[in-house]
Amino acid sequence: MTTRFSVVGVSCILLVTWFGHSVPQLHAEEVTSSVSPLATTGPKPKPIEAVSPEAVERAIRRGVDFLLLRQNRDGSWGSARNTKSLNIYAPVPGAHQAFRAAVTSLCVSALIDVKDSRSEVQEAIDRGEQWLLENLGNVRRATPDAIYNTWAHAYALEALARLIQRHKGRPERQAALRELMEGQLDRLIRYECLNGGWAYYDFDYGTQKPGSSTISFVTATVLVALHDAKQVGLTVPPKIIDRAKDSILRQRKPDFSYCYGEYLKMVPMHPVNRPAGSLGRSQACNLAMRLWGDESVTDEVLRAWLDRFFARDGWLDLGRKRPIPHESFFAIAGYFFYYGHYYASRCIELLPQKERATYYNHLAAILIDLQEKDGSWWDYPLYDYHQQYGTAFALLSLQKCRIEGRKAAQAEGSSSLAARSQ
């Protein structure tokens, strides 16, 4: 039996009717900074005890060690070897090529971000980089209906941006990475949906330029990656960004919940489109729109959705590790768990510094508590990719908690020193 899936997303296996691709004459640049009170109110998380910097460091070290242990001999991470009675739709070889490229990119990004100076970690990054150089150019659309390569191109851009910064002072290596980055952008432009934005399936038409529904969080994932790549010099066509933002805007509700995809925008109160169903998606979509200049995603909106995220994190957790996509309450699928926490960590980063510590503390407490005995994190059984991508997402998130914890400790130390000197 097969089910449809991407690295962090699946087609909504729901009994709904898609009402077509009508495009309202409303564009992102027309939205003002005035937002509905529904977007800035909601539940707030309960206070929790502070997580020690030492606990964060231990969790990061164990996660890094897991990734070192599970790296393939060729430098990549993940494989198609593990199966179960309910396997995700993955036409070979293209689907697994895309899965492995996406997961390897995430692992490389995580190992770079944690800044572990051990030689074995640096060697693992080098091997992962070499695999990306040799294989990313071969990642393609698997079949007319399966466009999993979208995930690979997006997360490859994030990894390549980090690798370019890592090779500062090595212009030849940077040039090779930039060339590869241009190729990933070319693929994303090629597989942009007809109405703007991106998806990972085209079950309706299977056309060269996907004609099926754009998916809000896929588009957000790509936009965030394109923003990261732009910071290291990638030139992104403005029209691509504008069309993507417009597609997300068409799926945004007044409370800043985001529809799963445009095919569901005419059923806005479907459980998956309600705030609890949008917990993970709203973090990614808010981040993407804010990074690309949407003034309506204010600090108030970010704060309210982070409060909602941590107050109702249990909704996401109810779907964690369930083998069937969308079987949990509000049609939440397990793979949104660590994905959502990663993008939440990046939303926190956009708030004023004095507000970040509390949110990062909530994030660290959740992630440390859920770390597996072998040092990994995972949220959805996906062949032999789930532990690797879950661990990468968790490390990328915990690294930001670590940075904020150091800043807080330094600030506390400075205050103590000032008090003693008086």
Mean pLDDT for the stretch of residues 32-56: 90
Q: pLDDT tens for residues 268-295?
A: 999 999 999 999 999 999 999 999 999 9
CA 357 to chain centre: 21
In this prediction, residues 224-253 reach a mean pLDDT of 98
The one-letter amino acid code at 313 reads D
Residue 284 and residue 217 in contact, taking contact as beta carbons nearer than 8 Å: yes
What pLDDT, on a 0 to 100 scale, did the predictor assign at position 35? Answer: 83
Domain assignment of residue 363, given as a range: 2-414
pLDDT score recorded for residue 410: 55
Residue 420 lies in a domain: no
Residue 23: predicted pLDDT: 39
pLDDT tens digits, one per residue of 18-29: 333 343 444 555
Q: Is residue 292, in this structure, part of any structural domain at all?
A: yes
Confidence at residue 86, expressed as pLDDT on a 0 to 100 scale = 81
Is the per-residue pLDDT at 336 higher than 70? yes
Residue 53 pLDDT greater than 70, yes or no: yes
Q: What domain count does the chain have?
A: 1
CATH number, domain of 407, equals 1.50.10.20
Give, in degrees to the nearest 5, the angle at Cα 163 between 162 and 165. Answer: 65
Averaging pLDDT over each range in 36-45, 102-111, 404-413, which range is the top one? 102-111
Q: Is residue 421 part of a domain?
A: no
Tokens of 399: 């690294």
Is residue 41, in this structure, part of any structural domain at all?
A: yes
Percent of the chain with pLDDT over 90: 83
Phi, psi angles (nearest 5°) of residue 334 = -60, -35
The reply to whether the predicted model has a pTM over 0.85 is yes
By the 8 A CB rule, do 209 and 15 touch? no
Average pLDDT along the chain: 90
d(CA 83, CA 374): 20
